[in-house]
């Protein structure tokens, strides 16, 4: 496997920007549903509020980056989140992402609309740890079908995303640019990205069709036909209500992860409906721009949970030092989305593996330089937190 042409996450973003059609790159990187990127920028910036307080003379020649999530070990405290549409960024798509996660010894969370079936993903990564992300945008019947198929391929957890409540028509149209009917709308952009276009067309020829985000949804049958007509309109229920967890818990036999929590009250409600883990997330800044960063709400959620469930941090994680800061504040692990999608766009599976290798190297170097022997021993004493900072809980 050829070594990808980047050694930092910043370089991966730069190369992906040159490779992808601009509208596809923008959709992933810097567009909130209201056309602003305030929360996206704040998610990244807030990590700079925290400084490290290293230990003097604390030399640890070997550092341990392993931890456990949902009771099972992972070799890296970085999980791959579920941005969706991975096949559009590279024809290898979600199977390559899962294989890379498996090679790194961590978890891949599959989106509902990544362009392959969950059976194809499992076949490509038979030993990978897979979680399945679920919306209710196609209705209860399709969600139950998806849950059953996820159980069938050995997904170990179900992740319910609860913070995406409405989808404006403007964003619906933007996502629909990646469909057969509207491919001409970004055709000029694609011509200017010949390497991406060549891969896209080879994939189309192999599949006898134009690959779409919605072409091979993880739910099959009638729901596939519904997805091909475009994303659900503004009146469609996307996230579950708290009452929906009654039948979700009946349909799913396994750990439940609830993603998209920012407040203490919602954290307690998540526990009430059976959450085994909670992801503190503002959906990567997509949806509402005027919301607090995920990191600044981590302490609030941790205090509310009080050890009754695992807590992970999502949104804005761009480097190994970000992961270390989140873990020192109390998160069990961090989730990434945009960084690994940029690696995928540049070099397929090798690109995702390279991104995870960069995170591994950076986390290890931070641990070495703050004098901490393992991620399990990280705590707030390794941080200098400004007085009054909201993330303290």
Q: pLDDT digits over 67-97, tens only? A: 999 999 999 999 999 888 898 899 999 999 9
181-185 contact pairs (CB < 8 A, 24+): 183/210
- Find residue 69's DSSP bridge partners: 72
Please say if the pLDDT value at position 125 is more than 80: yes
DSSP structure string for 343-366: HHHHHHHHHHHHHHHHHHHHHHHH
Across the range 140-149, mean pLDDT stands at 90
- The pair phi, psi for residue 277, each rounded to 5°, is -150, 150
**CB 290, CB 38: distance < 8 Å:** yes
- The pair phi, psi for residue 112, each rounded to 5°, is -75, -25
Distance between CA 109 and CA 129 in Å, rounded?
Answer: 9
Please say if the pLDDT value at position 311 is more than 70: yes
Q: pLDDT digits over 18-38, tens only? A: 999 888 888 787 666 666 688
Please say if the pLDDT value at position 307 is more than 50: yes
Residue 178: CA count within 13 A, CB half-sphere: 32
Distance between CA 55 and CA 384 in Å, rounded?
Answer: 12
Which residue among 90, 114, 116, 283 is the active-site one?
283
Q: Tell me, what's the pLDDT at 155?
A: 97
Query: 283 an active-site residue?
Result: yes
**CB 375, CB 332: distance < 8 Å:** no
- Report the Cα 293 to chain-centroid distance in Å: 16
Buried b (16+ CB within 10 A) or exposed e, 285-314: bbbbbebbbbbbbbbbbbebbeeebbbbbb
Q: pLDDT digits over 181-221, tens only? A: 556 666 778 888 889 888 888 887 777 666 554 433 344 33
Q: Tell me, what's the pLDDT at 223?
A: 34
């Amino acid at each position: 496997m050829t070594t990808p042409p980047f050694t930092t996450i910043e370089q991966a973003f730069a190369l992906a920007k040159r490779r992808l059609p601009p509208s596809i790159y923008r959709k992933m990187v810097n567009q909130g549903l209201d056309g602003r990127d305030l929360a996206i920028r704040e998610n990244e910036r807030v990590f700079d509020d925290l400084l490290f307080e290293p230990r003097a003379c604390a030399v640890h020649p070997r550092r341990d980056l392993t931890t456990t999530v949902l009771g099972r070990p992972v070799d890296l405290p970085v999980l791959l989140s579920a941005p969706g549409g991975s096949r559009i960024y590279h024809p290898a798509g979600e199977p390559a992402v899962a294989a890379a996660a498996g090679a790194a010894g961590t978890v891949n969370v599959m989106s509902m609309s990544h362009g392959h079936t969950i059976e194809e993903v499992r076949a490509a990564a038979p030993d990978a740890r897979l979680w399945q992300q679920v919306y209710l945008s196609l209705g209860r019947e399709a969600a139950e079908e998806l849950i059953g198929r996820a159980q069938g391929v050995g997904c170990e957890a179900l992740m319910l995303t609860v913070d995406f409540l409405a989808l404006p028509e403007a964003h619906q149209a933007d996502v629909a640019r990646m469909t057969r009917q509207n491919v001409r709308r970004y055709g000029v952009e694609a011509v200017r990205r010949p390497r991406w276009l060549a891969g896209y067309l080879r994939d189309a020829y192999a599949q006898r069709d134009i690959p779409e985000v919605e072409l091979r949804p993880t739910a099959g049958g009638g729901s596939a036909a519904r997805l091909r007509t475009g994303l659900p309109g503004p009146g469609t229920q996307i996230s579950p209500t708290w009452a929906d967890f009654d039948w979700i818990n009946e349909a799913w036999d396994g750990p439940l992860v609830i993603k998209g929590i920012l407040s203490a009250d919602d954290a307690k409600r998540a526990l009430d409906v059976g959450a085994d883990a909670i992801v503190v997330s503002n959906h990567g800044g997509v949806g509402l721009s005027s919301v607090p960063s995920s990191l600044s709400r981590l302490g609030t959620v941790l205090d509310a949970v009080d050890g009754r469930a695992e807590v992970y941090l999502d949104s804005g994680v761009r480097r190994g030092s970000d992961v270390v800061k989140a873990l020192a504040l109390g998160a069990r692990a961090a989730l990434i989305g945009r960084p690994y999608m940029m690696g995928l766009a540049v070099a397929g599976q090798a690109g995702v593996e390279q991104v995870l290798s960069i995170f591994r190297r950076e986390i290890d170097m931070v641990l070495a330089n703050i004098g901490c022997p393992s991620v399990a021993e990280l705590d707030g004493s390794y941080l200098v937190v400004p007085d009054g900072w909201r993330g303290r809980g």
